[in-house]
Amino acid sequence: MTDVLDQARAWLADDPDPATRQELQTVLDGAAGGDDAALADLADRFAGILQFGTAGLRGAIGAGPNRMNRAVVIRAAAGLAAYLRDTRSPANGSRHRVVIGFDARYRSYDFAVDTAAVMTAAGIEALVMPRTLPTPVLAFAVRHLAADAGVMVTASHNPPQDNGYKVYLGGPDGGSQIVDPADVQIAARIDAVPSVASVPRAESGWAEIGEEVVTAYLTAAAEVAEEGGPRDLRIVHTSLHGVGGVTVGEALIRARFTDVHAVAEQAEPDPDFPTVDFPNPEEAGAIDLALALAERVGADIVIANDPDADRCAVALPVRASDGDGWKMLHGDEVGALLGSHLAGRGARGVLANSIVSSRLLGRIAAAHGLEHSETLTGFKWISRVPGLAYGYEEALGYCVDPESVRDKDGISAAVLVAELAALTKAAGRTLWDVLDDLAVAHGLHATDQLSVRVDDLSLIGAAMARLRSAPPSSLGGSAVEVADDLLAGDGGLPPTDGLRYLTADSTRVVVRPSGTEPKLKCYLEVVVPVDGDAGAGVSAARTVARERLAAVRADVAAALGLEG
């Protein structure tokens, strides 16, 4: 107990923020007085410093090193500044340049200003976005302004109590998110910061980026839809209380999609996210208000973005033969639709997706004479594929214009989805019909996911060790023919903690610990050939796929030895 109290007192003396100093003092007083709850709280706050990795920083806002606060951010900024000075020549002239963006979450602006103050004092040109804006605009600005690095203060679709700090690198990295070894090198320099008080911070000297950069981004996003195509499409859009509403609306209008209805209750940025339990369009109930509005206005499509608008979700009216209501497309379905659309438009280059995403994109690429690449999970890897023309991952992330944004971009993806939906509507068809066409041409690729959340992280390590020592011999009744240990670099990819199984009937299972949550994630995919036409043939294949996925899911759950 004495060690934790001493650590807390030392941190308190170095904290530059009166709000978190008061917060920590209250917890410290309770712990020193013998309050068990306060002592447990203090121990958690000082369990270690919030780790800087390939996702930057992300955690709950609060006092202490294991939280997001000004002290942690100032240290992170100092580490990034030292990394740039030590390892990188300026991309444009004799002075490094860093662009800084922020969303509407609690403390985002404060963290952005602290970053600008540290960079300026370190002799680095700091450019701050003019207002709360989506992550893709910041990623665009890194390339557009030839910056050496970019910082986006956001926790994306995390719960309201969180915030985060995402880092991009310019120059030879092209505006992509950081990967190893840059993350390790930045983290080492953060660890070397002796105290917050030792970090110089300027009181002024940084500049605000002009609106012309936002305008340039909007122009690029709108231009992903080709001129002259149909635009008869009624769209309902929700930004889920995030910062994407205005930007998405303006991009759609510039692309001549004018029949757009925003969900009023979720249109304005609100860090409390009051109408949703969890601000992620994949979560149950998150787009209920959008679906209700779509019913009222007779919409053709619902498009939803997560709070920082780097992800894009799509919902469609179900087919008349399947009843009433709406259904959200899986990320793999949208990924295949957009990849097929771009390939059909004549895109040249490489189509890429992560190893946990569907293999359908590879078959689409082959059919169009295009190269396909499979990467580790995360856009930090997808964005670095040489010659990238399009990339996606199943978690609703799509890069449809890599020349402008080397990251997932839910805004340009929304414009491209709208173009495809309008073209399909003009032909008297729906996106369901297009998915059926892909199934007939390439086989029905059906995916599912099994996620196991744990309170004890050691259970994840034990489950992975169990699978490595005793891998399954069959899955869903089909013999396992290939068992790749991704940690050993099997399969030709950089080492990562994961396992991949391929069976005789083309079933694929990937098992990996989540990088952001205390979860073990299992990604399942079966491929069923379609006999006959796009009607009865696809329907029969879907029935077979559901049965096979259920069997595979049961086998994976049993092999893990954990309750899902």
Catalytic residue annotation: 156
Query: For the sheet containing 508-513, what is the strand order?
Result: 444-453, 519-528, 508-513, 499-503, 478-485, 474-475
Is the N-terminal amide bond of 181 cis, ω within 30° of 0?
yes
Beta bridge partners of 524: 448, 509
CB 545 within 8 A of CB 537: no
**DSSP class of 313:** E
The rounded distance, in Å, linking the Cα atoms of 402 and 421 is 22
With the C-alpha atoms ordered 170, 240, 337, 412, is the resulting torsion angle positive or negative? negative
Lookup: tokens for 183: 């993350």
The rounded distance, in Å, linking the Cα atoms of 535 and 437 is 10
Q: Enumerate residues 6+ apart whose C-beta is below 8 A from 352.
A: 361, 372, 373, 374, 375, 382, 385, 388, 390, 391, 392
**DSSP class of 375:** E
Helix 431-442 to helix 410-426 angle (10° resolution) is 90
> CB pairs under 8 A, 24+ apart, for 507-514?
507/475, 507/476, 507/478, 507/548, 507/552, 508/359, 509/475, 509/552, 509/556, 510/355, 510/356, 511/464, 511/467, 511/556, 511/560, 512/356, 512/377, 512/486, 513/460, 513/464, 514/451
DSSP run (H or E) holding 59: strand 57-60
The rounded distance, in Å, linking the Cα atoms of 284 and 278 is 9
Lookup: tokens for 243: 């910062």
The rounded distance, in Å, linking the Cα atoms of 408 and 410 is 7
Could you count the other beta carbons within 10 Å of the beta carbon of residue 517? Answer: 12
Q: Alpha-carbon Rg of the chain, whole angstroms?
A: 24
Residue 558 class from Cβ within 10 Å (0-12 exposed, 13-18 middle, 19+ buried)?
A: exposed
Residues in the chain: 564
Q: Which amino acid is at 85?
A: R
The rounded distance, in Å, linking the Cα atoms of 480 and 500 is 10
Q: Name the nearest CA neighbour of 157 among 37, 23, 15, 311.
A: 311
CB 11 within 8 A of CB 64: yes
The rounded distance, in Å, linking the Cα atoms of 372 and 353 is 8
In order of 260, 389, 393, the CA distances from 310 in angstroms are 19, 18, 12
